Chains A and B, each alone.
Chain A
């Protein structure tokens, strides 16, 4: 915010004057607010709207050492047509894979509108020299990934080297080319909401198009309050600069009820303008089938069995 820029000492952040002041987050209050929003009762047509939106916002993810072209092919098919029995169900936003599998994914989803996202920068730890991260991202961009999910250097962040974190994001952004950059904060390692807010603003200052909670490899991953804190940071940036940054909670979102809660949080924090896959994604693997089951339940009135939904 324009008033009272309050940079803590040692915060050698090359912030533009218009970026929001860093500020702080009250843990108890933010958790209570998130819990209160989670009690919203979303029924009938608004629930169907939310579930459909959740599918369109999904980054269907596989990030395993055992991933193969075959696995990615199956995932890509699922991404393009999530419910073969119900063609009104839209494709998901993207598939999210390791760099080696980007070409395979691209091949499968070509022309479908489904994007290919790749993690990079020594995911998930980020513990390699900056040059290697930059090189990795440049290569992944060359391979044709539409979106790149990088991790911040939590070691640098937690030891107070904020400039290093910022520099890495900025340098990675420079080599992304046309690819969108999502910056993973790994909130489960940051310890406090204050840090989540700081890291989020830092990533945005460095050039992030999206900020993302987690790698999925660390617990806790995405939570409602952590997401609320990041949405509030995004809101402050928007109010100050007019720039719209996207948000991606990832990890631990398995049930459609949770997905609806995230969308309520989004709706009531950033408003209807953010209710688009361009500005919000779910990073998830098992969430999709639960959403599909709920959609069919809403349409048929019958509670569903997992046997009727493909495991890919």
Chain B
């Protein structure tokens, strides 16, 4: 006798919790009912992200690396589930491995991206990278897990917090990743994942005055319009998403240069 499966409800991931859309809407995709986020859900996600930013950015880099590595451990434990959702074991393996790769960057970015600068005068001068703040990520449609990891991991490893618009047509891997994050040590609000219509949500994210950077790897033909909206508060914009590189992380980092006289 066949058993009737218990179907999972795929909700939003905001502030470490799994709320339904405040609009009460859902949409059917990949054989599931998925929350259809609204403009107000974007607003709420940005608000909790802002709240989570100081603590996440203020962790020691070593600590942040530890927390992110723990995420990879949790992903590894769900490889079967991810493989079923993505239909590709290879994709899952590469996504986990990529997360590990970025976790290891946490306490190395400053050494690779920063500098001490030999100025012509009695001054000590150095440059350090710092997180820009809230990164809005319009995730690529596919591969649903690997592409998301490729954009999310470099954003958060440098101390940024993220509001992600998941793949519209393949959102289940993203929500499952949210479950991984929720059971890891990543503080609530550091990563927020919204599902729904990019056309509706991405402009809200791009125009939001408290979002500092925008990753448009998954924006497709809407990129130009989103970049225009992003101009209103001079957002940093990342466009390309392939591969793994510390320079992806650098796209969401500010460089701060400090001067101090050398004297007695």
Instruction: Output the nearest chain A residue to B261 by Cβ-Cβ distance.
Output: A28
B247 at the interface (CB under 8 A from A): no
Determine chain B's interface SS by DSSP, over half rule: loop
Report the nearest B residue to A30, measured CB to CB. B263
Write the chain A residue with the least CB distance to B123: A28
**A28 to B261 alpha-carbon distance, docked (Å):** 6
A95 to B230, CA, bound (A): 76
Does A68 touch B at the CB level, under 8 Å? no
Asked if A192 contacts B261 (CB within 8 A), the reply is no
Q: Is B1 an interface residue (CB 8 A)?
A: no
Cα distance A28–B262 when bound, in Å?
7
CB-defined contacts of B123 to chain A, threshold 8 Å: 28
Size class of the contact patch on chain A = under 10
Instruction: Decide if B120 is an interface residue (CB 8 Å cutoff).
Output: no
Tell me, in angstroms, the Cα distance from A191 to B262 when the chains sit together: 15
**CA A262 to CA B264, docked complex, whole Å:** 23
| Chain A residue contacts of B262, Cβ below 8 A | 28
Contact with A along B48-69 (1 / 0, CB 8 A): 0000000000000000000000
Least distance between B124 CB and chain A CB atoms (Å): 11
* Residue B87 CB within 8 A of the other chain: no
- The interface residues of chain B lying within 8 Å CB-to-CB of A28 are 122-123, 261-263
A192 to B261 alpha-carbon distance, docked (Å) = 15
Interface residues of A in 260-297 (CB under 8 A from B): none
With the chains together, A191 CA to B264 CA distance in Å?
9
Q: Give the interface centre of A28, A31, A191 by most chain B CB atoms within 10 Å.
A: A28
Least CB distance, B48 to chain A, in whole angstroms: 42
| Beta-carbon contacts under 8 Å, A10-36 to B | 26-29, 31
Bound: A29/B264 CA distance, A? 11
| B contact residues around A191 at 8 Å (CB) | 264
B264, A26: Cβ atoms closer than 8 Å: no
> How far, in whole Å, are A199 and B123 apart by their CA atoms in the complex?
27
Residues of B close to A192: CB separation below 8 A: 264
Residues of B within 8 A of A27 (CB): 261, 263-264
User: C-beta contact mask, B83-125 vs A, less than 8 Å → 1, else 0?
Assistant: 0000000000000000000000000000000000000001100
Contacts of B264 in A (CB 8 A): 27, 191-192
B240-264 interface code vs A (CB 8 A; 1 in, 0 out): 0000000000000000000001111
User: What's the nearest-Cβ distance from chain A to residue B66, in Å?
Assistant: 40
Interface string of A185-201 (1 = CB under 8 A from B): 00000011000000000
A192 vs B263: C-alpha distance when bound (angstroms): 9
Q: Report the minimum CB–CB distance from B248 to chain A (whole Å).
A: 39
Instruction: For the complex, give the distance between the alpha carbons of A26 and B263 in Å.
Output: 7
CB nearest neighbor in B for A192:
B264
Residues from chain A with a CB closer than 8 A to the CB of B122 are 28
B261 / chain A contacts, CB cutoff of 8 Å? 26-29
List the B residue with the shortest CB-CB distance to A27: B263
- Kindly provide the distance from the CB of A138 to the nearest chain B CB, expressed in whole angstroms: 39
Which residue of A has the minimal Cβ distance to B260? A28
A and B contact pairs by CB, cutoff 8 A, 14 listed = A26-B261, A26-B263, A27-B261, A27-B263, A27-B264, A28-B122, A28-B123, A28-B261, A28-B262, A28-B263, A29-B261, A31-B263, A191-B264, A192-B264
A28-B122, A192-B264 are known; give 12 further A-B pairs, CB within 8 A.
A26-B261, A26-B263, A27-B261, A27-B263, A27-B264, A28-B123, A28-B261, A28-B262, A28-B263, A29-B261, A31-B263, A191-B264
**Complex A-B, nearest 7 residue pairs according to Cβ-Cβ distance, in ascending order:** A27-B263, A28-B261, A28-B263, A28-B122, A192-B264, A27-B264, A26-B263
